[in-house]
Each structure stands twice: as C-alpha cells, then as structure tokens.
Structure 1
Amino acid sequence: MHAIRTSATRISFAVSALVIGTAIAAPASAVTRSVGAGQTYATPCKAFAAAATGDVIEIQAGTYSGDVCAIYKSNLTIRGVNGRPKIDAAGKNALGKGTWVVVGNNIKIDNVEMMGAKVTSRNGAALRLEGTNFTLTNSFLHNNENGILSGANTASAIILENNEFGHNGYGDGYTHNIYIGSVGKLTFRFNFSHDAKVGHNLKTRAHYNVIAYNRFSSLRTGETGSTAAGKPSYEINVPNGGTTYIIGNVIMQPADSNNPAMVAYGEEGVGTRKTDLYVINNTFVNDDASRGTFVMVRNAAVGAKLINNLFAGYGTVTNQTTAVKKTNYQSLALAFVDRAAYDLRPLIGTLIVNAGSSPGSSSGGLSLKASSSYKHLASGASRSTLGSLIDIGAYEVQ
C-alpha cells in the first residue's frame, strides 16, 4: 500500500557537525518533582500542571492508566526512574489529539513506555508534538495510532535516540510508528522501529534528516516479539525530500509488507527543498522473492549517492538513473550470522570485507564515513576499521 497523507550508549555520528540539537540543561533553581505511589504527585499529569519552567519530573515505575494531558511548560526534563513507567491512555485522550500533547518548548522525555493512544479522528498519538525542539530517549512506544506525530515547525529540531517503536498505526496507511511533520531537523539514531500497522516505520517531512545506526525490521507472519507483526509499508519514507543522510542502518523488509519499496524519497514532490540524499554503509534485506526496490527516488534533481551498501534478496537497487553507485554489493542468497533471528551481521566474505571505499563528504563538506553500528536492543557500538579500509554494509566483520 502506498500511504500518503498531507496533513545503550550514545555514539557520535560521523562528525560532530551532524549531531543536531543539544540537551537543555536545567537551571540552578529547577525543582525535581516526584511522581508515583507515596510521592508528591500521584500521576505525571498532576506534576506537569504544577511544574515551573525548567523543572525535572521523575516518574516512578508503575502503570498510569488514563493519565492524558497537555504539557504547557517549557524546558522540562521528564524521566522514568527505578524502572520504566507505563503510560496507558486507556481509552482517554487530551485535546482530541493523543496521550501527552507537548505544547511547551525544549521538552526532554527519557525512559517511558506509552501505549493505547487513539482518538475519534483515528490520528491519535502517544506524543503529539506542537512546541519547538523535542528529545525522546530510551523509551518504548507501541500500539498507538501514531507513536509520535509532530506538527509543522521549521524552527524545531527533534531528536529521537535509543528508542523502540512498534505496531503503531490505525491500519489505514495514514498513521505510522513515527510521523514527523515539516520541521527543521530530525536526528533519528540507535532506534529500533518495527511492525508499523500498515503505515511506515519512519515517515519524515523534516527539511534535514540524519537517520543513522537504526534497525528497521518487522516480524514474519505468525511470529511474536515485543509486539504483534504489523505488515508495514515503507521502512523509511522521506516524501518531500530535503538533505537526508541514511547511514549505517539495518533495513529489513518482510515478504508480506504493504509496499515493495524499502526507502522512498521525494515521491510527494520536493518543491524548493534540497534533494541531496546519501545512502551509505547500510545493510538492506528483502524477504520478498518476487518484488522490491531498495531505494526509490522521485522528483530529485540531484543524483542520490549509494556507497558501500549491502543489498540482500530480490530487487532493483534504485530506480533513479542518475544515482551515483559505488562499491555496493548485491546477492540473492547472502549468508548472515542468523538471518532467522534477525542477526544481520554478514559472514566473512572477500567481496564484503575491506571491499568498501571512502564515501567522501557531503555537498556541505561533512564526512560520510560510518563511525558506529546498530546494537540490539536500541543501542549502538563504535565501528572500528583497519585504517582506511572499510567493509561493505552496516557492520565491520574483518
């Protein structure tokens, strides 16, 4: 299905210039407000309402059912402590939009689990982003109509790191694990996004995207993991183009997915945006034996750069005739450590090990060399190379 709707250790990316956004430090006068049984506030929303700008909200592990609200204060740090608290919308919503509607600016949320967001318009979100700048880390968003849904705000930078997103979507193809609107910048690193329910595992309309060292995969029919199987459409969808780095990811598409393309770029039109796309040192695996396009590009005046990628399974590498393709490797039957268990580190082979080339720099002068690798679950590890030698794909196997 082609879905269109207009509407853990942290490892540095290739160079510091590609790290978008910084953590907001709490001012010296910030108050820490404790939430949970026997604490000052019984629920997170009560603490949000009482908070002042810059406060820290600590949520004790436990289940908070029906605790839905808007977060109006800015510069808040919200974090789960002593385990991961579960925020279950339980049939309720805030402002007709979702579980927590983030209106304030510079909000940082860490270590929460959120589920059950739904609204009458079938477009509810666990986190509805309306403020400027937002960070989510070390969290698990699942079984919502959208995991994250952001508005359009080109002044905003969104950072999503070390999170799991699974089985979000109403099932109509218009709702997704993550749906980022027309914001200025998206940084998406060290995440595990899987089993979107008909929609995409990541959809972003951001003008500048860093999508690095993540795993995109979904369960096969009949398998059970942290969520049910979801049959997603695109693994990564960048419908309006923009400067986009897709580096060091593991991208695996199930045989019964709803769209044969794995990465889609520019298919809804790019307008006046830049169209520089860098697809570097990724491992692509297509389980569909009869259809597939690994990187689909439309409406882009600039040829995509596809360098050092591993393409396993049936499919066309890209439909873009002007794409620059260098030291990629494709095989219908590539051997992995344990493909059935989703361990997609390739077995050593002379056509992969030290067979990559230096990817050079982007048009803006930024290094494209992969410096990390995805580590399950929702983490990362440093990628060590032998001098200037680099392996093809998302992992070093020398």
Structure 2
Amino acid sequence: MQAIRTSATRITFAVTALIVGAAIAAPASAATRSVGTGKTYATPCKAFAAAAAGDVIEIQAGTYVGDVCSISKSNLTIRGVNGRPKIDAGGKNANGKAIWVVSGSNITIDNVEMYGAYVPDHNGAALRLEGTNFTLRNSFLHDNENGILSGENTASTITLENNEFGHNGRGDGYTHNVYIGKAGKLTFRYNFSHDANVGHNLKTRALYNTISYNRFSSLRSGETGSTAAGKPSYEINVPNGGTTYIIGNVIMQPTASNNPAMVSYGEEGISTDRKSDLYVINNTFVNDDSSRGTFVTVRNATTAAKLTNNLFSGYGTVTNQTNAIKKTNYQALAIGFVNLASYDLRPLASALVLNAGSAPGNSSGGLSLNATSSYKHTAAASARSKLGTAIDIGAYEVQ
C-alpha cells in the first residue's frame, strides 16, 4: 500500500510540474488597447507604440488629426469601434511616405476612414505597406495621393475586402486609388473603387491577382457622391501580367475618362517571374463613351485570355487580343438594366442573357472559375444562385 501511495504522490507531483511548466511557457494573453477621449491612449499612434505582438487596438469613433506614424509591431488587429474613426493627415506625414507606414507583418486594419495624405515627393498614401501580409476591411480611403501604396515583397499576401476607395490620386497619372507593387498575391474583393483622380481605380503588379465581386465606377457629370468626381484612366490595370482572375465585377467607365480601355493587362511587358494567364468571367461592363473604347486590352501576352459569360454594354471592342478565347459573352449598345441611371446593373429578362451562360470550367492551375457571389452596394456582396438551368451572363442573375 505504501508503494502505491508513493507512486500516486509521484504522479501528482509530475502532473503539477507539467501544469506549472506549461503555464510558464505559455505566452501572456494579448492585450486590448483602447484609444480615444478618456481612454488609455489619446491617439492611435500612441497605442501602436505601446503595443506588443498579438494585441488588439480599438479606436473609438472621432477625428484624429495629424496622427501619423509607423506601425512596426507585428500581428496586430486595429479596428474602429462605436462608429468609424476618421484619421486626417492634417498636413503631416510619417517618414515622408504616408499617414501610417505599415512596417510590421500580419497586420489587420478594420473600419477606419483615412484622408489627406500628401508628401513632398508627391507619392504619399493613407497606408504605405512595407511588411509581410496585410489585410484591410470595412474602411474608406479617400482624397489622398494614393489610397494604398505597397512596396516590393513577393512573400506578402495583401487582402483588401469590403472597402471604399474614392478620389485618390494627385492628378499626375502616377498616383492611384490602390497601387499594389510586386507582391506575391493580391485578393481584392467586395470593394467599391471609384473616381480616381486621373490615375487608376486599381493598379497591381502582384504575381497573382484575384479581383472579384467589386464595383469600379465613377460619377457622371453633375452627379454627387461620397467624394468629388474623378477622371480615371484604367478601371483595372495589371501592367506586368501574372495569373489574374477578374470575376463577377461591375466595371463602368464614364465619358470623362483618360483612357478608352477599361481593363488593361500586360501593357508594360510580362515579367519573367510570372505567368500570363488572364480570366475574365461573368463581369458586367458599361462604357458611357459613345465614340471610343476597348473593354479588355491585352498586350505582350501570348497566352490566350479567357473571356466567358461577360455582359458588354455600350460602344467598343471586346478585346484587342486576336487569339483570346471568347465564349457566351453578350454585347449591345444598350442593354436593359433595372436602373442604369442609379447604377443598378441587374439585367432585365432577356433570352440573350437568361440561362445563356456556360460553365466556365477551371483555370490552367485547376481553380474553379464559377461566379459564386454578386457585388452589393456599398462594398458588400451576396450569394449568387442560379434561377434557371444555367448561369446568366454578367455579374448578376436576371431579375
């Protein structure tokens, strides 16, 4: 019996030691740091400086003027609460680059509004991305030289979803709503990008791009919106190629645009470090210019672009690429929509659209090309369900 008791004591001691050791080895719990009037930190930048990896920083709604800095810590979640906080550059910048320079890795920013980024070299941004892996959600970036500007980092994945980007660009053609440098991967979905000031609504040099269920458009003459009207160049520009999926988007170009092409691919040459496969599937294109236009321009790419189930409304050439594979697309000068004037581009019933699409199959890499969602204004999406035996042509099912 004594031996049994001794054995039990030893077991109890061993288990206790294991628990204590595990407690010592476990990292401290991540902190939640609160920012705002009467909170621990008066401004976001003060909380960023105090943060440790894994922390959550909650920014109370309000306006924070001139709060510019670098975010150097990694694994942070930064989010606006009780409304959307406004970050106004107020004539200041961090390191001559941006309102916030994101040098840490694995950063997520959620629900902020940022504006007023201007710097001496005219290439400022609300957010300058210099770390590895970044996510922006539910935010509004407007009236900056660039909304987002990223550097070169092929190890980085950038995810931008449910955001609005409006009237960014200095007006020089070199600054844009969103400008992604040579990243490894860009996922751009459920966003509303509009009224770039002379630049592009989206420009990306990433090696791999998924651009899905967004709205790219700009105000018509005399209209008012969440920003001033812009005069964009390309709606989507992928200048160096790379595997690119453009699926389920609403892509509109106003009469007052700086370039007759709406989507541009490979215009600066296809880089040798990437593929040149382009998939344009189930998008709705609208060109308001009655005298010029190319919906999809492809240059310097020998791989045939795949264009399937797209709706092309207005004047223009579908694509300049002679070997492009075009299947079950529909083009007309005037297509019936629920309310084109108010940008409701759900199509009215037509035998040329209803159940007229085809199964797009898979990409050369085996990815399904099926459109599974539809853009929902503002900066959201809803599930797409077929109402008939086959998918309809365009970004929406027939109403």
Decide: shared fold, TM above 0.5: yes
CA distance in 1, matches of 2:375, 2:334: 22
2:358 is aligned to: 357
CA distance in 2, matches of 1:353, 1:114: 41
1:29 is aligned to: 29
| Larger helix fraction of residues | 2
CA distance in 1, matches of 2:233, 2:376: 24
Q: Give 1:304 deviation, angstroms.
A: 0.2
Aligned length: 372
Give the letter aligned to residue 206 of structure 2: A
- Cα deviations across residues 236-280 of structure 1 (Å, max 9, x unaligned)? 000000000000000000001000000000000012120000000
1:319 is aligned to: 320
User: TM-score scaled by structure 2?
Assistant: 0.92
CA distance in 1, matches of 2:271, 2:279: 19
CA distance in 2, matches of 1:149, 1:333: 37
CA distance in 2, matches of 1:65, 1:341: 34
* Structure 2 spans left out of the alignment, 5+ residues: 1-26
1:340 is aligned to: 341
CA distance in 1, matches of 2:212, 2:257: 22
* Range with greater deviation from structure 2 (340-349 or 282-291): 340-349
CA distance in 2, matches of 1:397, 1:325: 21
For the pair shown, the structure with the greater C-alpha radius of gyration is 2
- Cα deviations across residues 161-189 of structure 1 (Å, max 9, x unaligned)? 00000000000000000000000000000
Give the letter aligned to residue 236 of structure 1: I
- Cα deviations across residues 182-214 of structure 1 (Å, max 9, x unaligned)? 000000000000000000000000000000000
- Cα deviations across residues 335-371 of structure 1 (Å, max 9, x unaligned)? 1111111111111111000000000000011110000
Percent identity over the alignment is: 81
- Kept in 1, the 8 Å contact 2:387–2:397? The answer is no
Q: Give 1:225 deviation, angstroms.
A: 0.1
- Cα deviations across residues 118-153 of structure 1 (Å, max 9, x unaligned)? 101111000000000000000000000000000000
Q: Give 1:388 deviation, angstroms.
A: 5.2
Secondary structure at the counterpart of residue 157 of structure 2: strand
2:143 is aligned to: 143
- Kept in 1, the 8 Å contact 2:142–2:166? The answer is yes
Secondary structure at the counterpart of residue 146 of structure 1: coil
Give the letter aligned to residue 309 of structure 2: N
Q: 1:200-279 to 2 correspondence within 5 Å?
A: 200-272=200-272, 273-279=274-280
CA RMSD of aligned residues (A): 0.9
User: TM-score scaled by structure 1?
Assistant: 0.93
1:81 is aligned to: 81
Q: Give 1:386 deviation, angstroms.
A: 4.3
- Kept in 1, the 8 Å contact 2:242–2:275? The answer is yes
For the pair 1:371 / 2:364, whether they are aligned, the reply is no
CA distance in 2, matches of 1:56, 1:287: 45
Q: Which runs of 4+ in 1 moved over 6 A?
A: none
- Kept in 2, the 8 Å contact 1:358–1:388? The answer is no
**Bigger relative contact order (CA 8 A; separation at least 6):** 1
- Kept in 2, the 8 Å contact 1:205–1:241? The answer is yes
